[in-house]
Amino acid sequence: MPQLTRRAPSALVVALAAALTLVGCGGSSNDDSSNDAGGDDSSARTLVVDASFDLKTADPGRQYETTGSIVTKALYETLLTFDGDDVTQPVDGLASYEMSDDDRVLTLTMNEGHTFSDGSEVTVDDAVFSLQRVQGMMGNPSFLLDGVTVEKTSDTTLTLTSDEPYPALPFILPNPTLSVLNQDVVEANGGSTDESDAAEAFLNGESAGSGPYILDSFDAASQVVFTANPEYSGEAPAYGRVVLRNVEGETQRLNVQAGESHIALDLNPDQVAQLDADSVNVIASASRFVIFLFLNQDDEVSTVTSDPDFLEAAKLAINYDSIVDLAGEGAVRPGGFIPSLFNGALDAGAGNQRDLDAAQAALDASGYSGEQVTLGFPNDITVQGMSLQSIAESVQAQLGEVGINVTLAPAPVATELDAYRGGTVEFGLWYWGPDFPDASNYLAFTPGELVGLRAGWTVDDDPTVADLAQAARVATGDDERATAYQELQVAQNASGPFIPLLQPAQNVATATSIESISLNPVWTIDLGKTR
């Protein structure tokens, strides 16, 4: 479990030599000497967590938002899970698993001893119902199980069968949206495995899971309150009550500094810098998001950016380390388009490197004669609290060092998103957040695929990279897949239109009374493991 430190370096797991002295909410101090009225009785302790809400529902099968995953993770369990922040290998949750050699059949065997909050046993029927409900309701997360047949095969086993190899499936099952619900309770309150399902209203008022907490109250606009689940089969949570509040970043900073909250989840680097390091601990770790540049390869959009020598010049002119420094402590540079957290990622040293002499030579070979190149990016959103404006300005200055004239064209996200999706942006600055923690999610960045086409990059433009993408798609086994995706990224770095820049930091501030928290790129924080 990650430990906390003051101004932790860019690592998620760090040591804190501090006693576990838990603090109550509502004007309490963060000083280590303060105690709540509950003493050592965990049932009397309240944990207050501030977050900027992205929340619509507490129904696992319908939620697919950041805050929704925090809520669902606290209330429910999944068939498979991850160990802390390590998303490179799934581990047992409610079940153990075995994948067939051809990556088409995933067999899950239920583990004994798990019970729902009403005291009933978690069974294979509950698991089959829950997954089929996600598929049948056709909500936002239904695509995760596209092409998968879910079947009960015995009193303790179920299989997930895909027509095509689906090696990412074990990495998808830990997603809280695929939690296991109490079938009897959900069906009694309107639940079904098709689009007639009407259990959402019930699940926004009461939970039907086996997680460390049960739902006390739910307001998607203001706060969610949890109480400890007495039937939970795992280690009992350290807090009897948790209040998750919707609070904007600057107020989060003020609250955690003043002792009005215990954890602030959404601070940007400037807000972190204003914290008192003697009374607040900070974890700064690489987030799952990748911020990247792309140069459109469609010559009808731009004859400049589609020139391969110009593309090469841009890659060589970027000062990658300088851009990472803009994002502050905890930010890292990925070596390719797959984040450093995932199996198959490249080290930064294997990525493109700055070489101004080579950049100038490539620019001269392109025949570029000073034309303005327009860099479009959204200016009304942040990524982990970081604005894209400062990155755009840095890119503009760095390319200017070799004579590339860049005009910045910030626009509201609604406007810029339409142009980006429509493939009409000449030179773009965007970010990508994965749908699940597996390298296959990044095949979207290859020729002829979703993001590749947004950059005007077709299969005919780069058949070599397209072939490597297909090889990665069908690779089996962790080692073979990691090698295939690394080879793909090396080729992508050489000829592709994308320039991965950085993974901004996720900054989490806590009261000094918090001994440890468990962070994860899929569900952000496991409230049940906060100590």
Please indicate whether residue 510 or residue 164 has the higher confidence score (pLDDT). Answer: 510
Q: Using N-to-C axis directions, what is the helix angle for 356-366 and 308-317, rounded to 10°?
A: 160
Q: What pLDDT score was predicted for residue 194?
A: 97
- Confirm whether 248 is domain-assigned: yes
Average pLDDT, integer, range 516-522: 95
Domain-located, residue 528: yes
Last residue of a domain, one of 196, 228, 252: 196
Residue 74 has pLDDT above 60, yes or no: yes
Q: What is the pLDDT of residue 43?
A: 74
pLDDT given at position 381: 87
Is the predicted pLDDT of residue 31 greater than 80, yes or no? no
User: Within this chain, do residues 326 and 471 fall inside the same structural domain, yes or no?
Assistant: yes
Residues 295 and 380 occupy one common structural domain: yes
Please give the residue that has the higher pLDDT: either 245 or 20.
245
Same-domain check for residues 255 and 388: no
Q: What are phi and psi for residue 125, nearest 5 degrees?
A: -65, -40
Q: Which one is predicted more confidently, 31 or 520?
A: 520
Do 255 and 271 fall into the same domain?
yes
Question: Is the per-residue pLDDT at 32 higher than 50?
Answer: no
Q: Is residue 269 part of a domain?
A: yes
| Structure confidence by residue, pLDDT tens digits, 316-373 | 999 999 999 999 899 999 999 999 999 999 999 999 999 999 999 999 999 999 999 9
Residues 436 and 303 in one domain: yes
Give the tens place of pLDDT for each residue, 476-500.
989 999 999 999 999 999 999 999 9
Number of domains comprising the chain: 3
- What's residue 40's pLDDT? 53
Where is the domain boundary, 137, 165, 196? 196
Residue 341 structural domain: 290-503
- Do 472 and 333 fall into the same domain? yes
Report the pLDDT averaged over residues 274-293: 94
Q: 440 with 468, same domain?
A: yes
Mean pLDDT of the chain: 92
Q: Are residues 313 and 190 in the same domain?
A: no
- For residue 400, the domain's CATH number is 3.10.105.10
Look at residue 114 and tell me if it is in a domain: yes
Flag whether pLDDT at 17 surpasses 60: no
Residue 369's Cβ-count burial label (10 Å; 0-12, 13-18, 19+) is exposed
Domain shared by 321 and 419, yes or no = yes
60 found inside a domain: no
Give the containing element (helix H, strand E) for 246: strand 241-246
Residue 516 clears pLDDT 80, i.e. is over it: yes
Distance of alpha carbon 199 from alpha carbon 351, whole angstroms: 48
User: Is 510 a residue whose pLDDT tops 60?
Assistant: yes
| Residue 80, in any domain of the structure | yes
Please indicate, yes or no, if residue 69 is contained in any of the structural domains. Answer: no
Span of 15-19, 100-104, 133-137, 219-223 with lowest mean pLDDT: 15-19
Mean pLDDT of 82-94: 96
Verify that 327 and 265 share a domain, yes or no: no
**CA gap 205, 202 in Å, rounded:** 5
What's the rounded Cα separation, in Å, for the pair 321 and 309? Answer: 23
Inter-residue contact 316 to 359 (CB < 8 Å): yes
Mean pLDDT of 234-242: 97
The answer to whether position 63 is within a domain reads: no
Q: Residue 495: what pLDDT?
A: 98
The CATH number of whichever domain residue 526 belongs to comes to 3.40.190.10
Residue 6 has pLDDT above 60, yes or no: no
Q: The domain spanning residue 144 has which CATH number?
A: 3.90.76.10
Whole-model pTM: value is 0.88
Same domain for 314 and 338, yes or no, is: yes
Residues 264 and 363 in one domain: no
What pLDDT shows up at residue 23? 30
Residue 18 has pLDDT above 60, yes or no: no
